[in-house]
Amino acid sequence: MDKVWDKPEAQRVFGILPNCTHAHCLGCLRTWRKNRQDFPLDVIKACPQCRVHSSYIIPHKFWVSKGAQKEQLIRNFKARTRCWAQHCS
């Protein structure tokens, strides 16, 4: 996986996995999850390092690994995506 801070500024986005504390580039995680023909679904829906399952990825400009900040990030993401899925304005 590439280092996030070594990327051009527009691509410096972390992919936060809700169920582990590893740091990954959002683009790298998305590429990892596209490998459905190479790996079973339970592998690609897991962290590439620790293999803990996470059903979604949270794009974020800053790394948040645990604690209250991460819990709030997850709540905010779920609220935004729930609203979007329900076609809220």
> Which residue has better confidence, 82 or 54?
54
pLDDT tens per residue across span 44-71? 889 989 999 998 999 999 888 899 999 9
Question: What is the pLDDT at residue 81?
Answer: 84
- This prediction has a pTM of 0.79
Write down the domain spans for the chain: 4-85
Q: Evaluate whether 65 touches 29 at the Cβ level (below 8 Å).
A: no
SS3 percent helix, strand, coil of the chain, rounded to 5, is 40, 10, 50
89 pLDDT above the threshold of 50: no
Tell me what the pLDDT averaged over the chain comes to: 84
Class of 4-85 in CATH: alpha beta
Tokens representing 66 are: 């645990």
